[in-house]
């Protein structure tokens, strides 16, 4: 993948103005907030940026997805990786084993969407449990069997390419899991938790930030840390998170880069990065209106990435339906996961996702009619693509282009 360099040469200092007006006397008050060139914030010469938990969960998720294509793994092994408990020997990395974090605990766990909706939260967690269960119990036993409609097994891409391992409907559970985690963990935690006013301003957070009261023995205020945790779900696995190059992982980082490479969406990566920097600078400057504007920018742009990639993979699947079943089913499996992730997106200025849980399920059910990908038609894939595009500002043709 082409690197996206967001270093000093690519980043002019961004300065925006936050204004408020009084209709009675037409007075206008302005505060200038200048974002730094890179995501670097310090207090007394020491960094105030911290998001170790996000880095840990990204790395855990990577190992889980890899483990889902190793047929020597048992359901218990993969379940334990997903719902890791501290000091359990679940991962190849000792630091991950020592951690008290887990991926499963933060699936569908945002304050805004799920704190009062535990039924949906539990059902979503159970969906990921099912992906693991079905991979082990229906796909692993047929690892060397050629897949056919209704029969799980393997399909090799035309020309001796990659081998894909699918269920009887053609779905790769590992891809559904991986792309679903992007939404249910990274997008949900970013857009609906850490960038939420209810989290940023919880309890005394605003008063403490105003008074520069730090979070315990840490070198940051609680509000600063919450914003950084949102940042961590996109950039947390970078070698230098302050200057991301978008080769950190195969989750949100990769797909922000891929969407940015499309001329129709060029610049979206820089828009997201700039909004994160300016929002963090606004917190330091105690300009909470500007902070919240940047949160809305991030919500819209990150949601766009999910919508674009859902359509892109639907169209890639359509292009290969009659030519290469393995390639088509691989793309449609990725589309399945991105469509699932649409329920975790957030329309700027609202409390609503771009698609509800029920609307998402209707699209997934349409993909899985009959024998699923074996029976899906080009017209059906176009219809789903157009349904998704209609909720955004782009067309299915723009999102589906190479």
Per-residue pLDDT tens listing for the chain (402 residues): 445 655 433 443 333 333 333 333 333 333 689 999 999 999 999 999 999 999 999 999 999 999 999 999 999 999 999 999 999 999 999 999 999 999 999 999 999 999 999 999 999 999 999 999 999 999 999 999 999 999 999 999 999 999 999 999 999 999 999 999 999 999 999 999 999 999 999 999 999 999 999 999 999 999 999 999 999 999 999 999 999 999 889 999 999 999 999 999 999 999 999 999 999 999 999 999 999 999 999 999 999 999 999 999 999 999 999 999 999 999 999 999 999 999 999 999 999 999 999 999 999 999 999 999 999 999 999 999 999 999 999 999 999 986
Instruction: Give the per-residue pLDDT at 247.
Output: 86
Q: In whole angstroms, what is the distance from residue 338 CA to residue 1 CA? A: 20
Q: In whole angstroms, what is the distance from residue 78 CA to residue 89 CA? A: 12
Q: List, as one string, the DSSP characters of 257-317.
A: HHHHHSGGGTTHHHHHHHHHHHHHHHHHTT-HHHHHHHHHHHHHHHHHHHHHHHHHHHHHH
Strand partners of residue 19: 30
Q: Quote the distance between the C-alpha of residue 171 and its chain's center.
A: 20
Burial class for 21, CB neighbours closer than 10 Å (0-12, 13-18, 19+): exposed
Burial class for 102, CB neighbours closer than 10 Å (0-12, 13-18, 19+): buried
Please give the structure tokens belonging to residue 6.
């967001």
Q: In whole angstroms, what is the distance from residue 30 CA to residue 18 CA? A: 6
Burial class for 200, CB neighbours closer than 10 Å (0-12, 13-18, 19+): buried
Q: In whole angstroms, what is the distance from residue 376 CA to residue 317 CA? A: 10
Q: List, as one string, the DSSP characters of 40-70.
A: --EETTEE----HHHHHHHHHHHHHHHHTT-
DSSP secondary structure letter of residue 122: H
List Cα–Cα distances, 135 to 69, 119, 146, 370, in angstroms.
9, 24, 16, 20
Q: Quote the distance between the C-alpha of residue 298 and its chain's center.
A: 12
Q: Which residue has the tokens 């349409």?
A: 366
| 31 backbone dihedrals φ, ψ, rounded to 5° | -130, 125
């Amino acid at each position: 993948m082409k690197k996206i360099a967001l270093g000093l040469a690519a980043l002019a200092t961004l300065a925006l103005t936050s204004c408020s007006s009084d209709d009675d006397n037409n007075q206008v008050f302005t505060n200038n907030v200048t974002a730094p060139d890179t995501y670097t914030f310090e207090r007394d010469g020491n960094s105030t940026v911290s998001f170790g938990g996000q880095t840990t969960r990204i790395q855990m998720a990577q190992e889980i997805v890899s483990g889902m294509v190793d047929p020597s793994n048992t359901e218990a092994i993969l379940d334990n990786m997903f719902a890791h408990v501290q000091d359990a020997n679940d991962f190849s990395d000792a630091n991950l084993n020592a951690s008290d974090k887990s991926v499963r605990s933060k699936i569908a766990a945002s304050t805004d969407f799920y704190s009062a909706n535990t039924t949906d939260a539990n059902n979503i967690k159970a969906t990921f449990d099912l992906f693991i269960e079905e991979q082990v119990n229906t796909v692993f036993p047929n690892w060397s069997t050629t897949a056919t409609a209704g029969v799980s097994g393997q399909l090799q891409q035309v020309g001796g390419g990659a081998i894909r391992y699918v269920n009887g409907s053609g779905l790769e559970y590992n891809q559904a899991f991986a792309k679903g985690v992007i939404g249910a963990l990274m997008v949900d935690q970013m857009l609906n938790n850490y960038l939420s006013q209810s989290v940023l301003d919880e309890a005394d957070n605003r008063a403490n930030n105003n008074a520069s009261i730090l979070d315990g023995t840490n070198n940051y205020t609680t509000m600063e840390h919450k914003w950084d945790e949102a940042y961590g779900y996109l950039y947390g696995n970078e070698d230098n998170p302050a200057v991301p190059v978008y080769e950190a992982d195969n989750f949100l980082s990769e797909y922000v880069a891929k969407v940015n490479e499309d001329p129709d969406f060029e610049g979206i990566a820089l828009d997201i990065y700039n909004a994160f920097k300016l929002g963090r600078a606004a917190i330091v400057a105690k300009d909470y209106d500007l902070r919240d504007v940047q949160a809305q920018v991030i919500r819209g742009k990150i949601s766009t990435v999910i919508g674009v990639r859902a359509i892109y993979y639907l169209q890639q699947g359509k292009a290969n339906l009659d030519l290469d079943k393995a390639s088509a089913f691989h793309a449609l499996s990725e589309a399945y996961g991105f469509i699932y992730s649409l329920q975790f997106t957030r329309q700027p200025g609202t409390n609503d996702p771009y698609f509800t849980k029920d609307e998402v399920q209707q699209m997934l059910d349409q993909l899985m009619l009959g024998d699923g990908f074996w029976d899906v038609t080009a017209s059906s894939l176009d219809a789903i693509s157009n349904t998704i595009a209609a909720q955004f500002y782009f067309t299915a043709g723009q999102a589906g282009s190479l």
